Amino acid sequence: MKPNPWIKNVPLYEPGRPLEEVARELGLPDISALVKTASNENELGPSPKAIVAMQQAATSMHRYPDGACFYLKQKLAEKLQVTPEHILFGNGSNEIIEFLGHAFLGPEANMVVSETAFVVYRLVSALFNATCIQVPMQAFTHDLRAMRAAITPQTQMIVVCNPNNPTGTSVAPEQLTNWIATIPADVLIVIDEAYYEMMPIEIRPDLLALIRAGQPNLMILRTFSKAYGLAGLRLGYAIAAPTLITLLNHTRQPFNINAMAQAGALAALDDDEHLTRSYDVNQEGIAFFEKFLTEAGIPFVPTTANFVLMKTGDARTDCKRLLAQGIIARPMQGYGLPEWIRLTVGKPLQNQKMRTALLEITLTAQ
Ligand SMILES: Cc1ncc(COP(=O)(O)O)c(C=O)c1O
């Protein structure tokens, strides 16, 4: 056997342990005493309508799913005011990032991203033995000008994660739109809007307008994993010009979206109430976090998503100490930020628990 030599250099993603195992080790009776705040999920859970639809769909699981996602695509297209031909679904938006690798990356190619952007871009670049050009951020925010300047003749795509995970920052909408107009036509611009529905409404860019107007080299990525509370279903989507969508369709498996995901997402799209509640709970949570972090003198990056990046001192140790109190947080040393941790904003009681634990670990560290 001769595996592709670069494969062993693709970093392995470190999965979290099952919650049941963590609870058992901490001597907790069940997982309800844990606050899982490491993966930017929606603590309100799935939409109740989606739960009912998935329960109903369970009896049809002997059938293969609709490989074209006909109804889901139609409904989403209507909601976004684009055509179904503008949409492609992935097994999570992560899978679409991999499709992009299949279609565009290889040993001669590079992609441009920010240094502290979502890790999966780097992983996919490594998977296809491409070069990932990582541009330093300015004050934890994308330096769009420097990113554009980093483009070379070998650049196939440039990815802007907006809001950015793990920093939580966004770029101003007009700045982003103006910047898109300056990118060479032969470079694909990918804007990852995984947290779009959690962003403050007044700073959401309207990039769909560019897609509707026919921008040929722009792709937006979104997901049902965050505000929709359906991370376990693995469902994300791309919106782009039909020619780009057709191209990526060549890279996917025929049944990449399972039938349960299609049923749940169809119903979730009908539940604006759940989406609004998720948004409101998140906004209240952010206000709570930013107030107590300011009062406690814990440095943090003001967020536009559903998580907060904060500097507690020693990320690994701090996350261990938080875990001892039942709080599963994410240390950021993998992003070159060994003093920083990231916590997902939750429901009020969970936020209170995180506050108490954070105050304890930061006060006793001083
Ligand atoms: C910026 C960003 N993009 C994409 C994803 C992946 O989302 P999905 O669950 O749709 O694969 C995440 C998940 O954390 C994310 O933070």
> What tens digit of pLDDT does each residue of 258-288 get?
999 999 999 999 999 999 999 999 999 999 9
Give the up-direction half-sphere exposure of residue 167: CA atoms within 13 A in the CB hemisphere: 22
71 Cβ contact list (under 8 Å, min separation 6):
262, 266
Residues 240 and 166: their CA atoms lie apart, in Å, by: 25
Residue 363 confidence (pLDDT) above 90: no
Q: How many CB atoms lie within 10 A of CB 287?
A: 11
Instruction: Give, using CA atoms, the residue closest to atom 2 of ligand 1.
Output: 194
Instruction: State how far the alpha carbon of 107 is from the alpha carbons of 1, 121, 156, in Å.
Output: 21, 15, 12
Q: Is the CB of 236 under 6 A from ligand 1?
A: yes
Q: Is the CB of 121 under 6 A from ligand 1?
A: no
Place of tokens 């799209």: 269
Q: How many CB atoms lie within 10 A of CB 256?
A: 21
Closest CA to 236 of 246, 226, 250: 226
Index of the ligand 1 atom closest to the CA of residue 234: 9
- CA–centroid distance, residue 90 to ligand 1 (Å): 11
Residues 144 and 146: their CA atoms lie apart, in Å, by: 5
Residue 15 confidence (pLDDT) above 90: no
| Percent of the chain predicted with pLDDT > 90 | 96
Q: Is the CB of 344 under 6 A from ligand 1?
A: no
- CA–centroid distance, residue 338 to ligand 1 (Å): 22
238 Cβ contact list (under 8 Å, min separation 6):
87, 88, 90, 93, 96, 219, 220, 221, 245, 248
Index of the ligand 1 atom closest to the CA of residue 236: 10
Confidence (pLDDT) at 14: 78
Q: Is the CB of 150 under 6 A from ligand 1?
A: no
Task: Dig out the tokens for 194 from the structure.
Answer: 């995984």
pLDDT band at 16 (very low <50, low <70, confident <90, very high): confident
Q: What is the pTM of this model?
A: 0.97
C-beta of residue 250 within 8 angstroms of C-beta of residue 51: no
Closest CA to 147 of 90, 174, 187: 187
What pLDDT digit, counting tens, does each position of 227-268 carry? 999 999 999 999 999 999 999 999 999 999 999 999 999 999
Residue 190 confidence (pLDDT) above 90: yes
- CA–centroid distance, residue 13 to ligand 1 (Å): 13
Q: How many CB atoms lie within 10 A of CB 14?
A: 6
Residues 41 and 225: their CA atoms lie apart, in Å, by: 7
Residues 126 and 57: their CA atoms lie apart, in Å, by: 38
Q: Is the CB of 93 under 6 A from ligand 1?
A: yes
